[in-house]
Amino acid sequence: MAAEVISFARGAPSADILPVEAVREAAGRALADDWQRALSYGTGVGHPGLREWIAERHELEPAQVMVTNGSLEAGAMLFQHLVGAGDRVIVEQPSYDRTLLLLERLGAERVGVALAADGLDVEQLEAAVREQPATLVHAIPNFHNPAGCTLSAPKRERLVELAAELGFRIFEDDPYRELSFEEVPSPTMLSLDGSDRVIYASSFSKTVSPGVRVGYLAGPAEEIGKLAKRASEVYISPNMLAESIVWELCRSGALDENIAFVKGALRERRDALVGALREQLPEAEFVVPGGGYFLWLTLGHDADSAELLSAAREEGVAFVAGPDFMLDGGRSSLRLSFASVPAELIGEGVARICRALERIRAASPA
């Protein structure tokens, strides 16, 4: 067994790219200038200063925003608010595993729609919803977890049109938007929505750090008001100390500096991964992610990613097997997170995956 495990499994940055100094300074300022707010209960909408800052960044009114304890909990509250047992919810295939689980727990009927290199197959979605109405569509528009793809601008426009025509809502789950390596991302579906169908979520987990647990929801003011009431009934207010620190980072410009730094590091890791895969595993297929954390790798039909994972662990490398992100299938695919592995270890990590693949192929020749 190799000395230290190289893990492409976690959707989190390695510790060497976390902004410890900037957070330390922001925490000092928060406790000097904003300490009463930071140390008190707030309301269900979260820290007013941060709420205003987010609203301005998205060109919204503050009443259209609530700050939450990360975006996963925000999404869970949204599902509880909108989805009842038996309701049809369209999910991307593959999709974020925790979303699939939350919807299953609510008793929703999850209807899978395929992803292409430019995001959701909107025609398949339209056919599924015309056949039988859906309550909600869940979409991860930028640098998808786990697929790495990005929803094109025309597809965003079409989805928003279809939502208005066919009466479903869209949950735009967008924690990776700020982590674009090449171009400015296309407009959010929230910004295109003239019919109050879109609720948007994002997070500071990827732009500051996952441990701050600060995210937000944005959408029609009336809907946000109801969700904030639900939030205050459950937890009184989100974590005001964390939000006060994040607000300091936002208004001092340290957030934007960190985003620039993190994007540079992630881009270097993405390039190292793409290069190593092309060189060492040329038969594998993937969409080159234009940002974010993830690459979705599809191997030949003979490869079973769960079996590969067992062999990979023995070689000292980890990833997440494809079926975790699917309602069905995904057997020959796997998710590699390049956020969690420093660039200099990526080539060796891929070499270990190749060795594991050779072992399972040798054990069961086609």
Ligand X SMILES: Cc1ncc(COP(=O)(O)O)c(C=O)c1O
Q: Binding string, 77-96, against ligand X, x = CB under 6 A?
A: -------------------x
- Residue 340 binds to ligand X (criterion: CB under 6 A): no
- Residue 333 binds to ligand X (criterion: CB under 6 A): no
- Residue 198 binds to ligand X (criterion: CB under 6 A): no
Under 8 Å between Cβ of 65 and 55: yes
Task: Give the distance, in angstroms, between the CA of residue 219 and the centroid of all CA atoms in the same chain.
Answer: 18
| Residue 313 burial (C-beta neighbours within 10 Å; 0-12, 13-18, 19+) | middle
Least distance from ligand X to the Cβ atom of residue 280, Å: 27
Strand partners, 285: 298
Stretch that binds ligand X, among 51-59, 65-73, 112-120, 337-345 (CB under 6 A): 65-73
Please select the residue that binds ligand X; options are 135, 150, 205, 333, rule is CB under 6 A: 205
Q: How far is the C-alpha of 340 from the C-alpha of 342, rounded, in Å?
A: 7
- Residue 173 binds to ligand X (criterion: CB under 6 A): yes
**Lookup: tokens for 250:** 């936002």
Under 8 Å between Cβ of 93 and 119: no
Determine how β-strand 119-120 pairs with β-strand 136-139: unpaired
What one-character-per-residue DSSP string does 35-93 give?
HHHHTS---TT--HHHHHHHHHHTT--GGGEEEESSHHHHHHHHHHHH--TT-EEEEEE
- Residue 71 binds to ligand X (criterion: CB under 6 A): yes
Site residues (CB under 6 A) for ligand X, limited to 104-163 = 140, 145
Stretch that binds ligand X, among 70-78, 260-268, 296-304, 337-345 (CB under 6 A): 70-78
E-state strands within 255-350: 294-298, 317-318, 320-321, 333-337
- Residue 239 binds to ligand X (criterion: CB under 6 A): no
- Residue 44 binds to ligand X (criterion: CB under 6 A): no
- Residue 65 binds to ligand X (criterion: CB under 6 A): no
Stretch that binds ligand X, among 66-74, 249-257, 258-266, 328-336 (CB under 6 A): 66-74
Please select the residue that binds ligand X; options are 13, 42, 44, 70, rule is CB under 6 A: 70
Least distance from ligand X to the Cβ atom of residue 73, Å: 6
- Residue 210 binds to ligand X (criterion: CB under 6 A): yes
Q: How far is the C-alpha of 38 from the C-alpha of 303, rounded, in Å?
A: 52
Least distance from ligand X to the Cβ atom of residue 303, Å: 25
Strand partners, 320: 335
> 233: Cβ–Cβ under 8 A, 6 or more apart, which residues?
44
Stretch that binds ligand X, among 69-77, 80-88, 216-224, 310-318 (CB under 6 A): 69-77
Stretch that binds ligand X, among 68-76, 77-85, 150-158, 276-284 (CB under 6 A): 68-76
Q: Which amino acid is at 167?
A: G
| Residue 347 burial (C-beta neighbours within 10 Å; 0-12, 13-18, 19+) | middle
Least distance from ligand X to the Cβ atom of residue 109, Å: 21
- Residue 215 binds to ligand X (criterion: CB under 6 A): yes
Least distance from ligand X to the Cβ atom of residue 96, Å: 4
Q: What are phi and psi of 317, to 5 degrees?
A: -145, 145
**Lookup: tokens for 128:** 């599924």
Stretch that binds ligand X, among 67-75, 148-156, 234-242, 320-328 (CB under 6 A): 67-75
Residues engaged in binding ligand X (CB under 6 A): 11, 70-72, 96, 140, 145, 173, 175, 203, 205, 210, 215
